Amino acid sequence: MFATTKFRLRQSIGIVANQNTIEFFRANTRTSVSLKMKPDGVIDFLRNFNGKNSLDYICQLLPKTPPDQIEKIALFLRDNFVLIEHDLDYTTEYISYYYRLLNLLEDFFHRTSDVIGALEKISKSQVAIIGLGAVGSHISLYLARAGVKKFILVDPDKVDVSNIHRQAYSESNIGELKTTCLERKIKEISPHAIIKKIEYPLNKDFFLSQEFPTDVDLIINCADEPSVDYTSSIVSEYAMSHTIPHIVGGGYNLHLTLIGQTIIPYETACYKCFDSKLTEINAIEFLGIRRLDRENRKLGSFSPLSGIAASLASLDAIKVIVGANNFLLQTNKRIEFNSKTKTFNAIDVPRNPACPWCATNRHLKK
Amino acid sequence: MAAAPPFVPGVVSPVLIKRLRLHGINIWKLILAYCSTNKLPFTIKGPLCKKSGFFMLNETYKLKESIDVFVSETESPDKVLIIFHKMTTRDRIEIIAGKGVAEFLALLDGKTTTVDILSKLGNFDNDSAASLIEFLSSQRLIVNFTERPPENQRYKRQIAYFDDLILDRPGHSTQEQLKSKHVTIFGCGAVGGSIAEILGRAGVGEFLLIDYKRVAEGNLVCDTYSTRKDIGNYKTDVLAAFLNTIDSNINISTINEQLLPHTDLSSWIPKNTSLVINTCDEPYIGHTSLKIGRHLHQQEIPFYVAGGFDAHLMSSGELIFPPFTPCIDCAQKTFSVALENWKPTYSSIEDSDENISFETTNNYIAGGSGGFVALSAFSANLASLRILEFISGDSSINFNTVRYEYLINSGFTTEFEMQKQENCCVCNDKI
């Protein structure tokens, strides 16, 4: 720790003084951390951490307090997201376009230089979105708004009138390719975006027949035809072999309330881990039960439900892109939204130590 | 049927049906054949069927697409447990029935008439078939394909969802109802704009949009509707134009004025508005909601206080519609009582004498409230789920006033329920 280090008290921190403890309430993340200390004068003390005063200077201002104690408190509060180390100023462009996002990212990092690094990662990352329906179309635009500039958009379909009630298209887009419409919409937000469009269905030879770039930072699979299991197994197999983080989008035709899972290859439960866990659960649940067979079903759909899946996938996507993997919410879990109680039910799906995909291949693939 | 039918067209009594069956006559086929040749309407008394005209057995039904059917053995050898699982709403209905019922369900394809299905199955009891169909219809597990109106291409998937969700009426009627709704939105920021988009896509016919601000650069990261070319224009105008690209038939009016303590709301809010949504969080959502909520209470207009504002970026907001819910004063008092002993101090470093270097023209506060379109859209979707449930007239709606909040870094949801307060003069004269 250098004496020149500057810290800034996060503005989103609410300070509650109790008798012998101080509670720091992180309003953005709605969590608290408490510290045993006398509450008198704490707020004034913390106001010295304004992003300009160096630690050294603060020690000089408070000659009665031992410097090592000030440093100890400062480090504790930094590690607990109460103070942020202000080691690099934000540029005017970042502030004018992304100040909300800057503040959001500050909750994932301890230093402003890391926050700037995160924004740079976002603007340099390349994200593939496969399936541009109710979930994928919104995710594409959300990520563009967050500053993602390189996209691979995959969908063979044209916009149909029945899409508009839940997908991010307009009446004038009817009959146009979904990829073309989204490219235009992304460029209205981010004029310099680079978009590769693939109008080819996701099937077994997709990755072989298409010139699919290998320098992809994240693949989000929102294709649910013929089924999400079919498309996800293909996407996951490719992503695992190239160690690309990927997200299964959720909210699709036969499973509207499912929140998709985020997979960091060889670190979190992979598609196969999920698959075997679910087979196991279904085997118990469906013991002695048969399902009536029916084909070509088109279920009802409702935009608030696909919208919730899209927004949560986008939040995890940003966390993956900036490397805030500790804060991912959809790894090692199968999450389902209950539209009646407005709550999320999660089943833990840990990595399977005997997984044919991710248990043994780890070193081989890396 | 060569012989004249042994009954008088008009009313068929259960006694007659029983007597005919004793003679081994397939009465349904008999009646239907007779009535259809003679183009006669008829009514059947008893619990089987309350409808007049052609009896349900001559109609075609379809097991709904969204229903998964599971069949499981029971202890009794001739009975099975049938589980209907609504995949959209995740509701579950279970019945114990004879083995033939599962086969019967599998044959409800929307093409074959029930009477043909029954003759294919052979030894199926007609009476129980009729009551089974009545039960399945009342639970909206099957749809009558004979009566079905032409499919609404634009909203067919949503209509199918309403069919599962709202049992009061067929999905297409719910869809028509949405068209006739007028929604007023205070605040066209990230959450207000996103709610407007969701409701507009869903088919709400009319909007009043209120906001005095213009689109700024920093809005693009949180909004779902603004683009670069909109910077500098009124948010209301930009949002209105956006909604009309989704549906050119949406009627929109706008007010570009700031809501102030002395604003005369009766000149702003039309009396026939179906719902008012408040997303104005400046200076504070509590203050603007109190002003709007008290006015709406007088007018008996439903009110939705949206979430997603600073420090509650992924919260649902709540419906305020007294006397079904607490009034706005009671709702807010629940918070102040719950948080009585918890008073956080937020230290704003920007008013310290030595200002930090990156002050700009927008309202950026270093380390202040975060935000990103996925978070505001999450709040807006959660709010819209409740709003659509309410304005689509679902009689099974639960009026518990709960604010849900999703925790951005842990994935937990917190719930906070608002209660009517004992001494509230506003609520108590209505309860």
**Contact map slice: B 258-287 vs A, CB within 8 A:** none
Alpha-carbon torsion angle B120, B122, B127, B128, nearest 10: -90
Least confident of A290-299, A348-357, B75-84: A290-299
Would you say residue B157 lies in a domain?
A: no
User: Three-state SS for B283?
Assistant: coil
Task: Flag residues of chain B having pLDDT under 50.
Answer: 1-10, 43, 45-54, 349-361, 430-431
- Closest residue in A to B403 (Cα) is A342
| pLDDT of A146 higher than 80 | yes
B103-139: per-residue pLDDT in tens? 888 888 888 888 788 777 776 667 777 778 888 888 8
Please tell me whether residues B141 and B215 are part of one structural domain: no
Domain end call among B33, B54, B75 = B54
Would you say residue B246 lies in a domain?
A: yes
Q: How confident is the model at residue A169 (pLDDT cuts 50, 70, 90)?
A: very high
| pLDDT of A254 higher than 70 | no
Least confident of A26-30, A47-51, B11-15, B332-336: B11-15
Name A57's bridge partners: none
d(CA B7, CA B11): 9
- Closest residue in B to A83 (Cα) is B367
What is the span of the domain harbouring residue B262?
A: 180-339+367-428
Provide mean pLDDT across the span A83-94.
Answer: 91
Please tell me whether residues B387 and B322 are part of one structural domain: yes
Q: How many domains does chain B have?
A: 3
Provide mean pLDDT across the span A131-142.
Answer: 96
Q: How far is A160 from chain B (nearest CA, A)?
A: 8
Q: What is the DSSP letter of A176?
A: S
Please tell me whether residues B143 and B269 are part of one structural domain: no
Please tell me whether residues B25 and B86 are part of one structural domain: no
| pLDDT of A220 higher than 50 | yes
Quote the pLDDT of residue B401: 92
Which tokens hold the place of A226? Answer: 């013929």
Q: How far apart, in Å, are the Cα atoms of B117 and each of B60, B98, B99, B144?
A: 10, 16, 15, 15
B77 — contact with chain A (CB < 8 Å)? no
| pLDDT of A311 higher than 70 | yes
**Contact map slice: A 132-151 vs B, CB within 8 A:** 138, 141-142, 145-147
Q: How confident is the model at residue A340 (pLDDT cuts 50, 70, 90)?
A: confident
B345 — contact with chain A (CB < 8 Å)? yes
Please tell me whether residues B219 and B78 are part of one structural domain: no
Whether the CB-CB separation of A81 and A10 falls below 8 Å is answered with yes
A76 — contact with chain B (CB < 8 Å)? no
Q: Check CB contact under 8 Å for A10 and B367.
A: yes
Would you say residue B24 lies in a domain?
A: yes
Contacts of A338 in chain B (CB under 8 A): 90
Contacts of A340 in chain B (CB under 8 A): 89-90
Would you say residue B321 lies in a domain?
A: yes
Quote the pLDDT of residue A119: 95
The interface predicted TM-score (ipTM) is 0.94
C-beta atoms surrounding B431 within 10 Å = 8
d(CA A212, CA A196): 9
Q: Check CB contact under 8 Å for B346 and A27.
A: yes
Quote the pLDDT of residue A14: 87
Q: How far is A284 from chain B (nearest CA, A)?
A: 13
Please tell me whether residues B317 and B379 are part of one structural domain: yes
Tokens 């603060």 correspond to: A58
d(CA B410, CA B428): 39
At B411, which CATH number?
Answer: 3.40.50.720
Which tokens hold the place of B63? Answer: 């097991």
Whether the CB-CB separation of B234 and B254 falls below 8 Å is answered with yes
Quote the pLDDT of residue B49: 43
At B140, which CATH number?
Answer: 3.90.930.60
Which tokens hold the place of B368? Answer: 């202040």
Domains of chain A: 6-85 (3.90.930.60), 125-365 (3.40.50.720)
Would you say residue B5 lies in a domain?
A: yes
Q: Which secondary structure element, helix H or strand E, spans residue A15, and what is its range?
A: strand A13-17
Please tell me whether residues B75 and B218 are part of one structural domain: no
Q: Check CB contact under 8 Å for A51 and B371.
A: no
Q: How far apart, in Å, are the Cα atoms of B212 and each of A300, B208, B234, B237?
A: 38, 13, 7, 10
Please tell me whether residues B203 and B304 are part of one structural domain: yes
Please tell me whether residues B239 and B331 are part of one structural domain: yes
**Contact map slice: B 105-124 vs A, CB within 8 A:** 105-106
- SS3 of A110-174: CEHHHHHHHHHHHHHCEEEEECCCCCHHHHHHHHHHCCCCEEEEECCCECCHHHCCCCCCCHHHC
Would you say residue B172 lies in a domain?
A: no
Q: How far is A199 from chain B (nearest CA, A)?
A: 24
Contacts of B313 in chain A (CB under 8 A): 28
Quote the pLDDT of residue B101: 84
A8-17: per-residue pLDDT in tens? 998 888 888 8
Q: Check CB contact under 8 Å for B88 and A145.
A: no
Would you say residue B245 lies in a domain?
A: yes
Provide mean pLDDT across the span A68-80.
Answer: 92
Which tops the pLDDT comparison, B367 or A112? A112
Which tokens hold the place of B230? Answer: 């909109």
| pLDDT of A37 higher than 60 | yes
Q: How confident is the model at residue A177 (pLDDT cuts 50, 70, 90)?
A: very high
| pLDDT of A275 higher than 60 | yes
Please tell me whether residues B126 and B190 are part of one structural domain: no
Please tell me whether residues B243 and B276 are part of one structural domain: yes
d(CA A194, CA A186): 9
- Closest residue in B to A191 (Cα) is B228
Would you say residue B192 lies in a domain?
A: yes
Handedness of CA B56, B62, B64, B67 (dihedral sign): positive
Please tell me whether residues B35 and B132 are part of one structural domain: no
A354 burial level (CB within 10 Å; 0-12, 13-18, 19+): exposed
d(CA B43, CA A53): 89
Q: Check CB contact under 8 Å for A305 and B410.
A: no
